[in-house]
Structure 1
């Protein structure tokens, strides 16, 4: 018998009299393979989660509990050891690698290998499958007390919030955990959580004990991530002040360093996975969309992630699915809340009512967070998602249905495919995941990551080299930076700010600003501009950026949206009016959310850059107040901060008071959530309790001011 050729589904259906000897034979073959196979051989490793799924479900397999634990110990999956049935040796091994301070989590062998390297002081770059448990290693390091000041770089706000929640629950008494740009470090033990855009601008980092970079493959410009320059620059800045670093990512075969000496590291690559996956080939389905809906109707596939190529695609498929069937009876209140607080015409409301959610960059953060929460509780059985979910937030997905083969109109490569596939199954919930393929998978190939900051600086882009400190530059780089300063008429600090939008974009913007100033002075303003002044500034911006990038069809519509956002007393009122007055195709509904994201990041950077160029000639220009207000939607900063933590602004804006910061507003929301305040519906009360990490009995996890 070979471990690869086992039909596990057929085995599950085997009669009791035949099952015991067959499973024992599999365990015997696996025990033999332990001595002959590679220590991270997937064919061997997958036997353990499959047996963990099978043995408890069949009473006749009870005699195999003890030998199963011995096999789990031999393979290195010590977290699968059944302590109630294991012998003394296996039980002692499991107890030796269990961390009571992390809630009794048991590590597996490869996690211990990585931890030993890190605790010896080595810089480590770890490549491991999604189900490896990489994030747990961060928690284990923090629990040792060896690290006091830590920076963690994460790719998305959603992942920031996930980390924040987990770290607050475990370490709120030991660390300040800062996530928002307005948070200020007060003590020595601090965890700075941030995207690259947030961490590159922090002035309170000090000397760091540890820098962690999650999804580190995004440092490679060949990954076509438009934020890679800022990521490399931010990580460069962090590593210069950090005594140790730890990079994490999936499915990487090699890391290229072209310049020796600046940083050294150990690269650890492992295929060690804690779950098994069944793959089903549906490429030959005559009607793929019909077959997709057939699979989504099956409860055995829930919770199910459906990977699609774009937000528009996710929206359309969710709407189509909701027109044909319902897969949940637990989402009616959520759908009604969406209609009342976002808009009755939003197609997503109907999709949610019938059990279908979506997760992509346009969905408001608190709403997306609640969808993931309901998905993980099996209340929202299906999520249509893009790479925003696949590449970051952890879910309890049993099945992943890979419906498309593109991201942003380009075929994804094997690396991305393997990352998507790795989201099926979750340790402790779904030992065996399911993957459904609707297209030919990419050809398997090795993936090498070549971060810009590990390469030859002289061959790096202008946008990156302007961030290098003087001691790391060469004469050739200094000459390049000098030429850029002269061309753009910017200081080195201003060049760094301009690099956030791209120096080529900055040059084009400068030329249009200069041309505008020759004809009139509409760009010379301060405070809050009126409509015409806003429009004049946006007309310059939209000469270098398409208004559609910001959720509008033209500069004039963009100016109107900004004015409308400013004038409405609540975000809910702004959204409801837009819902009622929408005259374009309903497929463009998400543009309003795209606009709100652009107000947070994108438009503020461009307005600030226009101001820099205008001030070169007219020092009275001052856009700072407008830029700051726009970035928080012309509302109290606490509302947006809590929105990032899963509290919808439509709820929190009912309770905000002048002078509130994030902590005071959070305390007030906690109080009303635990009361019978009539301003909250029962659904909203439950949402608040979950977002604020408060249990239903009134017990409060008391991190960072919520008490």
Structure 2
């Protein structure tokens, strides 16, 4: 089914008159605005083709309707004959301290609310221009200390790049916990909630900004079953603390119609739910069954052949599905011969493996992007897709969590994310990647399984405010008593009366289910009481023996039985000993390797000699990356922090004077075997391989200082012998 035809009019004048009528009615204004965007797109396209659009004869009327629709930026880019009224409108919609940027009407409205000191919740489509709005708010010079929470490390870096280019001279930008505030400039902290929680230098906050605020809400299954999400809890705890601390706050997110639960904390805010878009979208709807892979693939091939040379994003449910789609597109041979850039391909082959699926598809013009990829490869994917040669990007849910790109076309291959169906809210977020202001006035969205049914996914229920009966106790523990509901007070009193777990441990590990904390405490205390010699082995300072690693992994799978599933490690009663031994062996190999690259090469070599049942060698490479990304980089350090807190409490309560320190081990996992300054550089997009080359020279710097590391990296770019052209390309792309 085609909802919006690309040939969108029969008679130009009739079309313009219809748009004018729709713009005059508040209920239909957004439809009228989209019609104006289509006209502008037609005029722009015809101009590029050196043709005359049917609408060009009505330029004066069109300009009037552009103003009426609030699309003020297009006045200066699409029209040459500006009169005094046009100039006044343009100038009155420019933000403070910005000579060239022009707001559209929705941006101006929100900007004025913020500048006047109001707390604002903004919900708007992807193409509304929220990033530009934020940058110009910060340019106003009203704020000296700003905290900006984003949900992922990818978004930390994307936001860093945007704000550094526009605000780097005025603000000190802190985006990694190895950085300390110097105090010389106003400061912007761009961090995830977990990193905010680990800092003790955030005192007075002028403006608190929460990006993607919908992530405050818990998700529920179709049967209204509560889905526990540890990151939702940590986000609620951090946001609650910052709302109380900040002079002003600003929440930003897409496609939300209603927000419930803030009133318990604050009712002093303005909720703006805007449908203002700066691009139009054609929606093409099919009705393939979810399991009809061949039918959907045939449709993808058809679309790509008809859109040859245009940028196309293909969304699918998982990394393995992305690889399968890419492989089958390549088999059809529609993308031509191998692309050039042999230096880049040789670099990837040497750094990883020639049989890695990412490498093979990249050569054919297909870019893969998902959360399992090393960060530098994620950066490379977007940089190449935003360039000229690679026109197809296949990605997973990262499309709405850190991919800074739009395309002419978006194909929604699966109506699912992993095994769960996507809701209407997620669908709208994916759809919002089609089209781009000034570049693609009109985008195309192909829904191969149809459009999800309307639901209530566009409402956000904030747990720390509503505190329903299903609210996890570890969240209630972190809510000050004055903000707890009567039900929550009663639940917490009943629990704390019976529990021996100190409140400090629960708060320090608020993202971990309280029953899992209880279980961990019980198991470790049992070791203390019944096997003190084994307990003493847990009290290490740098690296533990394999016996201790096995003990810790045994504790992990007992306390958090689903912890390994995110790394696709299947655990059952029949294979638990084998799995624990295999994972412990990997961990010891990782800890004893000098570099992450060395560890990967060792694992790849082992997998080539010892193939796993049902898993190709190429797939085993992605599997190893998934273990590092999910288990090593996140799950293990989080669990070690809990174990460390429990050991500290048991030692204190029982007067055990043996000292231990898990800090080094946690850093080995969190920083992926790099000093923290170089770890920050890696997050910015510089590959491990490049960093390892730089460190061979044994630089006389503080490797835990990002500023010293950044200065050193810039000098390395000038060293022809130390780094090759591809290494320098990555450093340049990182915009350090």
TM-score (structure 1 length as normaliser): 0.90
Q: Give the one of 165, 168, 171 matched to 1:169.
A: 165
Q: Matched residues in 2 for 1:623 and 1:408: separation? A: 34
- Partner in structure 1 of residue 42 of structure 2: 54
Q: Matched residues in 2 for 1:525 and 1:472: separation? A: 38
**Is it true that 1:606 corresponds to 2:639 in the alignment?**
yes
When structure 1 is superposed on structure 2, of 472-481 and 258-267 the one drifting more is 472-481
Aligned-pair CA distance for 1:388: 2.0
- Partner in structure 1 of residue 587 of structure 2: 562
* C-alpha spacing 1:454/1:302, structure 2 compared with 1 (3 Å): farther
- Partner in structure 1 of residue 551 of structure 2: 536
Does the 8 A contact of 1:639 with 1:653 survive in 2?
Answer: no
Q: Matched residues in 2 for 1:331 and 1:66: separation? A: 48
Q: Deviation string for 1:552-579 (max 9, x for gaps)?
A: 5622222222222222222222222222
**Is it true that 1:198 corresponds to 2:202 in the alignment?**
no
Trace 1:318-467 onto structure 2 (pairs within 5 A): 318-325=326-333, 326=335, 329-330=339-340, 332-446=342-456, 447-456=458-467, 460-467=471-478
- Partner in structure 1 of residue 272 of structure 2: 268
- Partner in structure 2 of residue 665 of structure 1: 709
Aligned-pair CA distance for 1:162: 0.8
**Is it true that 1:228 corresponds to 2:232 in the alignment?**
yes
Gaps of 5+ in 1: 12-18, 694-707
- Partner in structure 2 of residue 624 of structure 1: 663
Q: Matched residues in 1 for 2:462 and 2:79: separation? A: 44
Q: Matched residues in 1 for 2:3 and 2:501: separation? A: 65
* C-alpha spacing 1:369/1:298, structure 2 compared with 1 (3 Å): farther
Q: Matched residues in 2 for 1:380 and 1:100: separation? A: 38
Q: Matched residues in 1 for 2:340 and 2:126: separation? A: 29
Q: Matched residues in 2 for 1:560 and 1:596: separation? A: 14
Q: Matched residues in 1 for 2:83 and 2:402: separation? A: 38
Q: Matched residues in 1 for 2:585 and 2:187: separation? A: 42
Aligned-pair CA distance for 1:492: 2.0
Q: Matched residues in 1 for 2:274 and 2:670: separation? A: 42
Q: Matched residues in 2 for 1:427 and 1:278: separation? A: 15
Q: Give the one of 523, 528, 543 matched to 1:512.
A: 523
Q: Matched residues in 1 for 2:446 and 2:88: separation? A: 40
Q: Classify the secondary structure of the residue corresponding to 1:569.
A: coil
Aligned-pair CA distance for 1:663: 2.0
Aligned length: 679
Q: Classify the secondary structure of the residue corresponding to 1:105.
A: coil
Aligned-pair CA distance for 1:344: 2.6
When structure 1 is superposed on structure 2, of 104-113 and 480-489 the one drifting more is 480-489
- Partner in structure 2 of residue 639 of structure 1: 678
Q: Matched residues in 2 for 1:463 and 1:9: separation? A: 56
Q: Classify the secondary structure of the residue corresponding to 1:227.
A: helix
Q: Give the one of 199, 210, 213 matched to 2:210.
A: 213
* C-alpha spacing 1:625/1:357, structure 2 compared with 1 (3 Å): same
When structure 1 is superposed on structure 2, of 303-312 and 589-598 the one drifting more is 589-598
Does the 8 A contact of 1:177 with 1:193 survive in 2?
Answer: yes
- Partner in structure 2 of residue 76 of structure 1: 70
Q: Give the one of 162, 177, 180 matched to 2:176.
A: 180
Q: Give the one of 504, 513, 516 matched to 1:502.
A: 513
Q: Give the one of 253, 259, 262 matched to 1:255.
A: 259
* C-alpha spacing 1:24/1:183, structure 2 compared with 1 (3 Å): same
Aligned-pair CA distance for 1:691: 1.2
When structure 1 is superposed on structure 2, of 310-319 and 285-294 the one drifting more is 285-294
Aligned-pair CA distance for 1:194: 1.0
Does the 8 A contact of 2:19 with 2:33 survive in 1?
Answer: no
Trace 1:587-598 onto structure 2 (pairs within 5 A): 587-597=619-629, 598=631
Does the 8 A contact of 2:152 with 2:192 survive in 1?
Answer: yes
Does the 8 A contact of 1:510 with 1:613 survive in 2?
Answer: yes
Does the 8 A contact of 2:505 with 2:646 survive in 1?
Answer: no
Q: Deviation string for 1:257-281 (max 9, x for gaps)?
A: 3744634211111111100001122
Aligned-pair CA distance for 1:298: 4.3
Q: Matched residues in 2 for 1:31 and 1:497: separation? A: 58
Does the 8 A contact of 1:375 with 1:383 survive in 2?
Answer: yes
Q: Deviation string for 1:227-271 (max 9, x for gaps)?
A: 111111110011110011111111111111374463421111111
Q: Matched residues in 1 for 2:344 and 2:497: separation? A: 56
When structure 1 is superposed on structure 2, of 478-487 and 346-355 the one drifting more is 478-487
Q: Deviation string for 1:94-131 (max 9, x for gaps)?
A: 23323485572211001111112112211111111110
Does the 8 A contact of 1:305 with 1:384 survive in 2?
Answer: yes
Q: Deviation string for 1:645-700 (max 9, x for gaps)?
A: 11111102211336323222222222232x3613333233222212126xxxxxxx
* C-alpha spacing 1:106/1:347, structure 2 compared with 1 (3 Å): same
Q: Matched residues in 2 for 1:434 and 1:482: separation? A: 55
Q: Deviation string for 1:319-377 (max 9, x for gaps)?
A: 33233333672565443322210223322110111111222211111110111111122
Q: Classify the secondary structure of the residue corresponding to 1:57.
A: helix
Q: Matched residues in 2 for 1:666 and 1:421: separation? A: 37
- Partner in structure 2 of residue 67 of structure 1: 61
Q: Classify the secondary structure of the residue corresponding to 1:424.
A: coil
Q: Deviation string for 1:389-431 (max 9, x for gaps)?
A: 2244321311110010111212111111111111111112211
When structure 1 is superposed on structure 2, of 464-473 and 293-302 the one drifting more is 293-302
Q: Give the one of 289, 300, 303 matched to 2:297.
A: 289
Q: Matched residues in 2 for 1:619 and 1:387: separation? A: 48
Q: Classify the secondary structure of the residue corresponding to 1:654.
A: helix
Aligned-pair CA distance for 1:226: 4.3
Q: Deviation string for 1:56-113 (max 9, x for gaps)?
A: 3334344444433222111111111134233331233123323485572211001111
Does the 8 A contact of 1:391 with 1:419 survive in 2?
Answer: no
* C-alpha spacing 1:601/1:482, structure 2 compared with 1 (3 Å): farther
When structure 1 is superposed on structure 2, of 609-618 and 123-132 the one drifting more is 609-618
Gaps of 5+ in 2: 221-226, 571-578
Q: Matched residues in 2 for 1:297 and 1:571: separation? A: 40
Does the 8 A contact of 2:469 with 2:487 survive in 1?
Answer: yes
Q: Classify the secondary structure of the residue corresponding to 2:410.
A: strand
Trace 1:232-243 onto structure 2 (pairs within 5 A): 232-243=236-247
Does the 8 A contact of 1:538 with 1:559 survive in 2?
Answer: yes
- Partner in structure 1 of residue 223 of structure 2: none
**Is it true that 1:571 corresponds to 2:596 in the alignment?**
yes
Q: Matched residues in 2 for 1:6 and 1:449: separation? A: 30
Aligned-pair CA distance for 1:536: 1.7
Aligned-pair CA distance for 1:610: 1.9
TM-score (structure 2 length as normaliser): 0.86
* C-alpha spacing 1:676/1:392, structure 2 compared with 1 (3 Å): closer
- Partner in structure 2 of residue 244 of structure 1: 248
More RCO (CA 8 Å, sep 6+):
2
Aligned-pair CA distance for 1:471: 4.3
Q: Give the one of 64, 73, 94 matched to 1:98.
A: 94
Q: Give the one of 102, 113, 119 matched to 1:117.
A: 113
Q: Deviation string for 1:167-211 (max 9, x for gaps)?
A: 111111211111101211222611111111111222111111111
